[in-house]
Amino acid sequence: MKRGLALLAALAALAATAWWVAGVGGGTTVAPHPTPTTTPDGRVGSAECQACHPKEHAEWAKSAHAHNMARPTPQTVVGDFNDVTYVFKGTTSRMYTRDGKYLMDHTDVDGETGTYEVAWVLGIMRHQAYLFAEPDGRLQVLPTYWNLEEKSWRDSVEGPVQDWHGGAVPSSHQEHWRNFGRTYNRACMECHASFPEKGYDAETNRYTSAFDPQISCEACHGPGGEHVRVWRTLDGTGDPMRKLDRLDLRASIEVCTPCHARKRVYAPNPVPGEPFADSFAPDVWQQGTFFVDGRSSTLNYRWVDYLQNRCMDRTARKMDCGTCHPPHDLHSVKDATVVESNAICTTCHLGQKTRLTAHTHHAPESEGSRCIGCHMPKMDLQLRMTVRDHTISSPLPSLTAAYQVPNACTQCHADEDVPWAEGYVQAWYGAQPSYQRYKASMHERAEVLTQAFAGRPPVAPLVAWLDNPGLNVVQRASAAQFLALALGDPRALAALLRHVEDADPLVRYYAVRAVGAFQTPAALNAVRKALADPHLTVRVAAFETLMFLDPGVLTSPEPITAKARADFDLRRTLVRVDDPRDIPVKAMWHLQGGRITEAEQELRRGVALAPRMPRARGDLIQFLLRQRRLDDAKAEV
């Protein structure tokens, strides 16, 4: 970590350099410093902000955001390229330099060997990954990365983004480093760049991507061209620039959410402060990524945890990301001494400030008397990735005993067992009614999610969650999601029908996706009505649901349906155009419309996108067999 911070300081002077990169495949070019009218949407680049905002720019220039991504130089490369070899589960990587170039020789688990030149470095705080450029414009994430905290090389499956159960990823899997799951242009660019333009050409299967490699000022504040103009030539009247501290709580958090949530993307490059539900649909509770108490068990990027915290939910004060994280360096924590001394928490929790040890039952300077020690413990979410729990919840050893979820007590007191911790918690807090209510609600949540994760959703409590506007949106949206599995229960259908018009767009999104599974006339009518929803994600969810249940939506000239279809096409042609997992759906769409040639073209494009993956070629072979083209099918084997 110290190495990363020192490097950030050394790189600060470089942060105002090239801000827009085009043609990342063959011959990347860097544009000169732009005027406020350089881009059609009025972006000017972070360097333009420095003249009027020198303090904020200087803070940002030292941040991980400013150095999110860079060309490989002695100043930007952290990893050891001094002819070092790393071996992992049958794979071998050798990192070295030659003629000023950073190179990696890699032998894969199946024996394939190659030499790859580093075109970009990605990351500067905990890990640094390395990208190489394919002739077709793809940027692929190389399989071996540098762990800054350990000062060592690691295979990608040993890191925070993916985990292949301790072994090397097979070359047939999407997350193998040569496949689409590790293509930066498709899988990484939406977060690890500002204003990315994918530039994928489906006809040629090539990329001409463009992006700002920094997480720039305008990524959070919106395009600055008009802002610069009105202040330089006028008096600031009509300034469109987003003042983030003037947004409401949910909107201010959603400025960060595009990169700090696991989500489905529906529209590229949203304007900060505009409705989040017009671009993204975050994931909610699911088996495999969450514990049954609702906390993340893997890297979910904090949003879904944060929206569960009772501090944000109950306080009249605006407790957003910037409460703890400085707005111009969201990868550090505001004044560490303030956090260590509980000052942020005791702004509201005045009683704990004056009666600290009576509340914590720990020595005043100990970890047990730090608010974040008990309420935001460090969670080992994946291999070599530890993140503080952002649900800001209270430890319940009883949940550990019943459901094997982690708790802060035995994480800190690793030499003690769960009954020991539960005994102390009961002695200290067990008589308090608020603790009893909290414990009961969390045990109910854990039992409901245990059943729901197993595919046996308990309808009554899920309906109660969905009907309760006082619960957090993650819990309510998750309830809607799980009720889709209760197809034989009229209570589930009735609840979903009520909430396809819920006040919260995320609840509506999951309710629309769920209610279509029932396929009753009432359910289909509700989904059709959702085609007119004010938010794009809900409209597209409705359209995608109806595609196979009511194929008339594919050609209907009715304006509301046509608008939803256009929204769907936006996602299909701009966001998901290079994702082979969507190819079978697109091919089926063409088949339903009698467009046999177009269906075959889609399936062949799927093979081009995922040539190493048997599933893509298998889909094409099945199509050819159904068309009774036996010789063509044999040619694909």
Question: What is the tens place of the pLDDT at every residue in 566-585?
Answer: 999 888 888 888 998 888 88
Domain 580-635, what fold? 1.25.40
* Amino acid 332: pLDDT: 59
Burial (CB count within 10 angstroms: exposed 0-12, middle 13-18, buried 19+), residue 266? buried
Greatest mean pLDDT among 1-10, 585-594, 613-622: 613-622
Closest CA to 303 of 272, 261, 275, 259: 261
Q: Which helix (H) or strand (E) holds 144?
A: strand 144-147
Tell me the pLDDT band of 16, cut-offs 50, 70 and 90.
Answer: very low
Could you give the CA distance from residue 458 to residue 495 in angstroms, rounded to a whole number?
13
Asked if residue 268 lies in contact with residue 198, where contact means CB atoms within 8 angstroms, the answer is yes
Confidence of residue 159 (pLDDT cuts 50, 70, 90): low
First to last CA, the chain: 50
Average pLDDT over residues 317-336: 71
Q: What are the residue ranges of helices labelled H in 454-558?
A: 459-467, 473-483, 490-499, 505-515, 521-530, 536-549
Exposed / middle / buried, residue 318 (Cβ in 10 Å: 0-12, 13-18, 19+):
middle
| Res 161 pLDDT > 90 | no
Mean pLDDT of 333-344: 65
- 382: confidence class by pLDDT, cuts 50, 70, 90: low
Is the pLDDT at 333 greater than 60? The verdict is: no
Please state the rounded mean pLDDT for residues 612-628.
Answer: 92
Distance CA 396, CA 538 (A): 36
For the domain with range 457-575, which CATH number is right: 1.25.10.10, 3.30.230.10, 3.50.50.60, 1.25.40.10? 1.25.10.10
Q: What is the pLDDT of residue 268?
A: 87
Tell whether the model's pLDDT for residue 537 goes beyond 70.
Answer: yes
Q: Give percent of the chain above pLDDT 90.
A: 61
In the chain, which residues fall in CATH 1.25.40? 580-635
User: Please, what is the average pLDDT of the chain?
Assistant: 88
Quote the pLDDT of residue 5: 46
**Which residue spans of the chain are classified as CATH 1.25.10.10?**
457-575
The pLDDT assigned to 4 comes to: 45
Question: Backbone dihedral region of 105: left (phi > 0), alpha (psi from -120 to 50 degrees) or beta?
Answer: beta
Least confident of 23-37, 218-232, 270-284, 589-603: 23-37
CA distance 591 to 554: 12
Please name the residue that has the structure tokens 């070019």: 29
Name the token pair of 548: 């196979």
Please tell me the distance from the alpha carbon of residue 48 to that of residue 232, in angstroms, as a whole number: 12
CA distance 214 to 206: 24
Lowest-confidence range among 309-313, 425-429, 473-477? 309-313
How far CA 483 is from CA of 33, 78, 236, 456, 514, in Å, comes to 53, 48, 51, 10, 7
pLDDT of residue 317: 59
Mean pLDDT for the stretch of residues 120-142: 95
